[in-house]
Amino acid sequence: MQFSRIMFALAETLIFGAWSAYRNKQHWCYWPFGATFYEALVGVRVADFTVVLAHETSSLKFAYETVPAPVFNEILEPTAKGVTVLAEYTSSYYAGRPAVSSRPIGKGRAVHFGAFYTPENATALLDALALDDPLVSWVEVPAEIEAVQRQSAQEGFYVFLNYTGCEQKLHFKETVYDLLESRKLSGEHWIEPYGVRLVRK
């Protein structure tokens, strides 16, 4: 599974990362006890947190895989019924404590991921949530390419960003329209080093 999938918002699953409960919609820092709305939404509170220093190793374990949890770790404490712990930390004084949670809400779910993302842990998260790649039915995207979706009421727009110093290949399984070059695309096409391609379906 590709790391690029984390860029897509799926209507039934809302994923929050570390630090999500620290600021309100005006981007002001909460008073220490003011994150009530967020905690009620995800069904967990951050019971403790710590920085992972450069010389330290931190990891978390999903059901079948242990992955890195670098930089910053939030130790979670479920506060609502129905919360499922998807992963626990395996290192330091908080080994065995919750690292990733999921709470059902209506027909969907709210997920809190308590560490900084890496390609490895983001992929493990998406696997644990059983989320399918929303692109795979119409385009093959290499792991080196970041893919971002924007959707209007009528059509979808997709941005493909090449952050590498070499060409990267996209394979379109159906015809799309390149908005930057004003032409239709299908089959194999390349993105130049540090290039971008903007298409409409």
pLDDT tens-digit readout, 76-110: 999 999 999 999 999 999 999 999 999 998 888 99
Q: Check whether 19 has a pLDDT greater than 90.
A: no
Structural domains of the chain, ranges and CATH numbers in brackets: 3-128 (3.40.50.880), 139-200 (2.60.40.1180)
Structure tokens belonging to residue 184: 């239709």
Question: Which residues does 75 contact at the CB level (< 8 Å), separation at least 6?
Answer: 46, 47, 48, 49, 50, 89, 94, 97, 98, 99, 114
Q: What is the pLDDT of residue 31?
A: 61
Residues 6+ apart with CB under 8 A from 172: 138, 139, 185, 186, 187, 188, 189, 199
- Rounded to whole angstroms, the Cα distance separating 14 from 109 reads 6
